[in-house]
Chain A
Amino acid sequence: AQTVTQSQPEMSVQEAETVTLSCTYDTSESDYYLFWYKQPPSRQMILVIRQEAYKQQNATENRFSVNFQKAAKSFSLKISDSQLGDAAMYFCAYSRGAQKLVFGQGTRLTINP
């Protein structure tokens, strides 16, 4: 069974600094998709970024980028120029496509002003 591990239960960063959240996963599949979702205090699950495993290029969405290392089964999220609104729980998730999401346990990110 596929598993997703986020080894950092909590992280904190100064406003305007850069922070990297770690995620590793375990799968025997070659085609899959990886996601980062953000859950702010409102508890809404918001898609931050996604990565297709067949693409070598790392995905980027404005201040958010990923470092996808397929061989190492690693998928980290980098947040540049951190803002107070980035404070949230961040979940890494895996999917085979049009199938269930398997989530990590989450990383709580605090932004210090």
Chain B
Amino acid sequence: DSGVTQTPKHLITATGQRVTLRCSPRSGDLSVYWYQQSLDQGLQFLIQYYNGEERAKGNILERFSAQQFPDLHSELNLSSLELGDSALYFCASSSQPAGEDTQYFGPGTRLTVL
């Protein structure tokens, strides 16, 4: 158990809908990262937050947004869902603001868009 929690474990929804994925980092970790794992794109970085502020953006679609709250949990919002958004979404957390910084992953949320 990495100490990172993600809810829900599975999500099945329809095209055009909106969903929210939730992540709670390890105790004391200030950074949260979101990754998408799909069959054709592999593991792709979406976005990073550090202590409530957006720190880096990757290949995140405009239909997707995220935030990190004062209690450090993070939410990834996916809207106007398309079939191609079906994937495993991981959250990872780490503690350091710079330098050596190992990321520990949550169990993931499997999103299926029908």
Contacts and interface: CB of A to CB of B under 8 A. Distances in A.
Contacts of A45: 90, 92, 105, 108
- Place the interface of chain B in its size category: 20 to 34
A2 B56 CA distance: 15
Interface string A67-104: 00000000000000000000000010001011111111
Nearest to A98: B101
Given A101-B45, A103-B43, A44 B100 contact: no
A102 B45 contact: yes
Contacts of A33: 100-101
Contacts, number: 58
Kindly name the residue among A33, A52, A101 whose own CB sees the greatest number of chain B CB atoms within 10 A.
A101
Given A97-B99, A97-B101, A99-B48, A44 B42 contact: no
B16 interface: no
B42 A103 contact: yes
Contacts of B88: 43
B112 interface: no
B53 to A, nearest CB: 13
Interface string B95-111: 01111111111011010
B68 interface: no
Say what secondary structure dominates the interface of chain B.
strand
A100 B56 contact: yes
Given A44-B107, A102-B45, A103-B42, A50 B58 contact: no
Given A98-B98, A98-B101, A99-B56, 20 more contacts: A35-B102, A43-B107, A43-B108, A43-B110, A44-B105, A44-B108, A45-B90, A45-B105, A46-B2, A46-B105, A47-B102, A95-B101, A97-B98, A97-B100, A98-B96, A99-B101, A100-B45, A101-B92, A101-B103, A105-B42
Interface of B: 2, 31, 33, 35, 42-43, 45, 48, 56, 58, 88, 90, 92, 94, 96-105, 107-108, 110
Interface of A: 33, 35, 37, 42-47, 50, 52, 91, 95, 97-106
